[in-house]
Structure 1
Amino acid sequence: MRIVLVGPPGAGKGTQAAYLAKNLSIPHISTGDLFRANISQGTPLGQKAQEYMRAGQLVPDEVTIGMARGRMAEPDAADGFLLDGFPRNLSQAEALDGILRGTGTKLDAVLDLEVPEDEVVKRIAGRRMCRNDSTHIFHVEYTPPKTEGVCDVCGGELYQREDDSEDTVRKRLEVYHTETEPIIDYYKAQELVVTISALGKVDEVTRRAMEALGRSA
C-alpha cells in the first residue's frame, strides 16, 4: 500500500505511522528522517537543506520533494510506503502525484487523523521533558510524574519546551490549517481520504486506522 498520513500537530502521527508501517510491512518515510539522513550523509540535497536551516529560512519545496523522490525510489519502498509529514502543502501534493505517475503507481489512501483543537493544545502544552534525557517524557494530566517537576527515571528536572507552550501550539495549528489542511480537500477530490478519530489509546487508534484501510490489525 502507498499511504499518506495527515493530521494536526499532536494527533500522534509519528506513533501511528510506526505501528501502521510495521503492521502493513511497508517503510515509514518521515520528513524529519529524510532531512536527518540527507544532512548526516552530506548529500547535495542535505547540504542545500542545511544552508537554509542555518540561515533560519524554510527549506524550499523542491529540496524536500527531491529527498522524498529519492527515498521512494529505494528498493524497500517498491511495494509501498507510508508518508508522514510529506506532502505538507498543495505544491508538494501535486509533485507527489507527478512522481507516482512517473513510476506507474498511485496512492491507495490518505489517512486523516482527526483530533479536536482543544485536545491538541492539551496534549502538547501538557508535555514535560527531562533536562537530562529527552526520551523521558511525561504529561501533567495523562502520565504525571510521581513528584511534580521531577523525572521518575533519573531525578532530572522536568520542563516545558518553548515549542510546547500554548501560544506556540496555536500558531502551529494556524500554519497547519493554512498550509496542510488544503491537501485533504485535494485528495478528497480524488476519493482517497479516509478520516478516523485519533482519540483514545494508541492500540485503539491503530485498530481504527487498519480497519479504515481495509486491513485487520
Structure 2
Amino acid sequence: MNELLEAVAPFVTGLQETLSGRQGANPQVPDALPEAPSQGPHFPLPEIVGQERGEPFFIRRNESMEASMLNRIRKLERQNSLFLLSKAKGEYWSEVKTTLHNCGSQKEYYRLLCFENRDLQIRERKHSCFFLFQEILSRNRALRGDAANPTEDFMDFFSGKREVLDKNPEWGPVEKDIKEIEFVEQVKLDLAARGHESPYIKQILGLG
C-alpha cells in the first residue's frame, strides 16, 4: 500500500502545481471592445417647409387676383375666344402661372401680375368687340362691301392702333396699355350703342 502511494505521489504533486499556476495567472483582457456593427451612413432628415414645391419662399402671392384671372381666362376659353393666342385650353394660364411663380423678387412678381392683368383686360375687351362686330355684320351683310376677310380686318385694325401707341416715346409700357384698354372699351361701347351706324364699322373694314 505504501509502495502504491509513493508511486502516485509525483503525479498528484504535479497536478496541484499546474492548477495553482493557472489560478494565479492574470486573465487576458482585450485592449478595446469591438466596435458595434455599422448601421450604414446617416442621412439628415429633409427640412420641411411650408411653401409649394418650386415656388420661391420669399414671394407672397396675390392668390385672389390670380384666381380671378384664371376664371376670366376660362370664360374666354369656353367661348372659344380668338384672343388667347390659339392656345389649347389650360395652356394660356399655365404659361402665365409659370412666369409669375418663378419671379426673382416680390417687386418683379407684382410688376408681372399687373402686366398680365392689363393684358387680359385688353383681350377681354377685344373679344367683346369682336362678338358685337360679328353680330352687326350678320344682321347687315351689305356692310361688308368688298371686305374678303372681316376677321382679319378686325385684327389688323386693333394691331395698327397698338403700333401707333408703341411709337409714342412719351409713354411708357403701362401708359400704353392703359390707353389701349381705354380705346378698345370706347369701340366696344360705341358698337353696342350705335350698331351698324358706328363709324368704327367702316374703319375696321377699311371702307371709310
Would you call these one fold, judging by a TM-score over 0.5?
no
Higher helix fraction: Structure 1 or Structure 2? 2
TM-score, scaled to structure 1:
0.20
Greater Rg over alpha carbons, structure: 2
Report the TM-score when normalising by structure 2. 0.21
More strand by share: 1
